[in-house]
Amino acid sequence: MSQVLINQYLAQLDVLKKVGGTHRESVVREAFKDLLKGWGKQHDLVFIPEYKLDSTTKDTRFVDGALLHELRVPFGYWEAKDAKDDLDAEIEFKFKRGYPQDNIIFEDSARAVLIQHREEVMRCDVADVKSLEKLLKLFFSFERAEIADFRQAVAQFKTDLPAVLDALRSMIEREHTTNAAFSKASKKFLKHAQEAINPGLTDADVREMLIQHILTEEIFSKVFDSEFQSCTCSKPPSSPAG
């Protein structure tokens, strides 16, 4: 599929040059834009043209295009230049103006340059299908540090979860045995849950509901911080009735 998209790009680029009678960036860049849009769809990314940047120089800047996750988190950027420009000089100039350097492609309809983590990763002629495919695969395999950290945390949570669940079940069982107030509140909550949710609920179901509440409250408080805390009680409930 990737080589099909590249061949479509090259064909469209050729048509734009021939029919448009020009190699101007404003005309021929449409072909690379369509290539990024098509490739991005395979990764559930949304292409936004003329994307406004929050530059390090605090000035208003617009990159020719950006690919965003559906949650509006930027994934990567694209800047087109004119074929008659000095591409390396233009790249240096854009970076001095505060353009992002984490994952961005510069291209002039003849060459493409990929910058990741402030370093040049690869450059190639756009007519070289295999090389351009490699460059784009590197671009689309990029992972932001915060997303990588989140995925690592999720993986670690899955590893730790069985032990956490066992510990919580042991704690709840101990409270049922030794804490009369807890046991009374648990029975009261069970009766309420049977009346409001399902008459078939059991004491074991109530314990699992309590465990889910404990886990999700902790997760939400860490992810959403003050926004979540302002919508919930300041302290976790001391019993199922809380």
Encode pLDDT of 166-214 as tens digits. Answer: 888 888 888 888 999 988 888 898 899 899 888 898 988 888 888 888 8
Q: What is the arithmetic mean of pLDDT over 39-53?
A: 94
The answer, yes or no, to whether residue 50 has pLDDT greater than 50, is yes
Contact of 80 with 64, CB cutoff 8 Å: yes
pLDDT confidence of residue 104: 98
Pair of tokens at residue 26: 């404003």
Contact of 67 with 36, CB cutoff 8 Å: yes
Q: What is the arithmetic mean of pLDDT over 44-52?
A: 95
Name every residue whose Cβ is closer than 8 Å to that of residue 147 and which is 6 or more positions away in sequence: 73
pLDDT confidence of residue 216: 76
Matching residue, tokens 């559906």: 70
Could you give the percent of the chain with pLDDT greater than 90?
47
pLDDT confidence of residue 222: 63
Using a CB cutoff of 8 Å and minimum separation of 24, what contacts does 39-45 make?
A: 39/2, 39/5, 39/136, 39/140, 40/67, 40/140, 42/1, 43/75, 43/140, 44/69, 44/70, 45/69, 45/75
- Identify which of 103-107, 219-223, 225-229 has the greatest average pLDDT: 103-107
pLDDT confidence of residue 183: 86
pTM above 0.75, yes or no: no
Question: Which of 67 and 240 is assigned the larger pLDDT?
Answer: 67
Least confident of 30-44, 152-166, 223-237: 223-237
Question: Which of 206 and 127 is assigned the larger pLDDT?
Answer: 127
pLDDT confidence of residue 62: 94
Pair of tokens at residue 14: 């050729």
Q: How confident is the model over 57-114, as pLDDT tens digits?
A: 677 889 999 999 887 889 999 999 998 889 999 999 999 998 999 999 999 999 999 9
The answer, yes or no, to whether residue 220 has pLDDT greater than 70, is no
pLDDT confidence of residue 211: 84
Contact of 73 with 93, CB cutoff 8 Å: no
pLDDT confidence of residue 221: 67
The average confidence (pLDDT) of the chain is 85
Pair of tokens at residue 207: 């314990």
Give the residue among 1, 3, 25 at the shortest CA–CA distance from 110.
25
The answer, yes or no, to whether residue 241 has pLDDT greater than 50, is no
The answer, yes or no, to whether residue 132 has pLDDT greater than 90, is yes
